[in-house]
């Protein structure tokens, strides 16, 4: 589904967020990426739909080679839902309009089709009663659930989550994680950056630990969290688990 082959990305000589990344993510797999700030986690996500170009190597997503100039980026991005830590909702549009905009413009859905889909998705994330509200009238957890519904409205094959709960108050985190767990149960291919290690242990097929632009360790969450092999992973996990 997603394949990284010797991927290298540099912003300058001092900042190299991705070094020699080799990784394969299968259809329906849930992969959680963790590591300290500046490890290259967000860049790893952003190169999957070419929000950031790479300098060397190859990325193949659902059979599409990102280095091929013939690859249709609009088509590629329509298959990939992205949820960031900041919700990026249009503040001047209602919840319903935030969700219906892309399916109408990109997928060509009629107003009625897009509205019906949006209402179904809002019911799914527990926010059907908020469809006429504006983002400013919602809590952070509600805004993030709307952002997830907006991504799902495009019927993506892959969902990318970049620290979706890090901007939320602790009591709002669980409502977002519950929506993500429902996606896991449906077999959605997901790459998730998070420090919620208990959540990672519950949902992830594999846990990836990154530092300094490199993948240092990959394995089952229970193995890495209980018995990390790399010294840097041990240091990170002990601090995170101690905090939690």
What domains are there in the chain, each with its CATH number? 2-79+157-243 (3.40.50.300), 91-156 (no CATH)
pTM of the model: 0.93
> Which stretches does DSSP call E strand in the chain?
2-9, 18-25, 30-34, 56-61, 64-65, 80-83, 158-162, 189-193, 206-211, 214-219
Q: What integer best gives the mean pLDDT of the chain? A: 93
Which residues neighbour 53 within 8 Å (Cβ) at sequence distance 6 or greater? 9, 47
Closest by CA position to 214, among listed 11, 57, 1, 9: 9
**pLDDT digit string (tens) for 157-174?**
999 999 999 888 888 899
Measured distance CA(89)–CA(111) in Å, rounded: 19
For residue 54 the two structure tokens come to 């790479």
6, 17 contact by CB (below 8 A): no
pLDDT at 119 over 50: yes
pLDDT band at residue 244 under the 50/70/90 scheme: very low
Residue 242's pLDDT band, with cuts at 50, 70 and 90, is low
In this predicted model, what pLDDT tens digit does every residue of 39-74 receive, in sequence order?
A: 999 999 999 999 999 999 999 999 999 999 999 998
Mean pLDDT, residues 101-130? 95
The yes-or-no verdict on residue 105 having pLDDT over 80 is yes
* 44: DSSP letter: H
β pairing state of 30-34 and 189-193 = parallel
CA dist., res. 113 & res. 244, Å (int): 44
């Amino acid at each position: 589904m997603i394949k990284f082959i010797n991927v290298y990305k540099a912003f300058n000589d001092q900042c190299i967020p991705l070094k020699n990344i080799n990784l394969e993510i299968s259809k329906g797999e849930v992969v959680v990426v963790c590591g300290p700030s500046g490890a290259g986690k967000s860049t790893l996500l952003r190169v999957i739909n070419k929000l950031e170009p790479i300098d060397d190597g190859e990325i193949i997503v659902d059979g599409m080679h990102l280095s091929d100039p013939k690859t249709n980026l609009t088509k590629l991005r329509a298959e990939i839902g992205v949820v960031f830590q900041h919700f990026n909702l249009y503040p001047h549009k209602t919840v319903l309009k935030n969700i219906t905009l892309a399916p109408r413009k990109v997928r060509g859905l009629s107003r009625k089709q897009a509205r019906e889909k949006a209402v179904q998705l809002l019911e799914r994330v527990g926010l059907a009663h908020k469809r006429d509200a504006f983002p400013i009238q919602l809590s952070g957890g509600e805004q993030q659930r709307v952002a997830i519904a907006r991504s799902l409205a495009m019927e993506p094959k892959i969902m990318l989550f970049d620290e979706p709960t890090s901007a939320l108050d602790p009591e709002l985190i669980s409502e977002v994680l519950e929506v993500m767990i429902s996606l896991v149960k449906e077999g959605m291919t997901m790459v998730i950056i998070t420090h919620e290690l208990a959540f990672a242990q519950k949902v992830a097929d594999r846990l990836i630990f990154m530092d300094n632009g490199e993948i240092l360790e990959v394995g089952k969450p229970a193995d890495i969290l209980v018995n990390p092999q790399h010294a840097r992973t041990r240091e990170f996990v002990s601090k995170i688990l101690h905090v939690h």
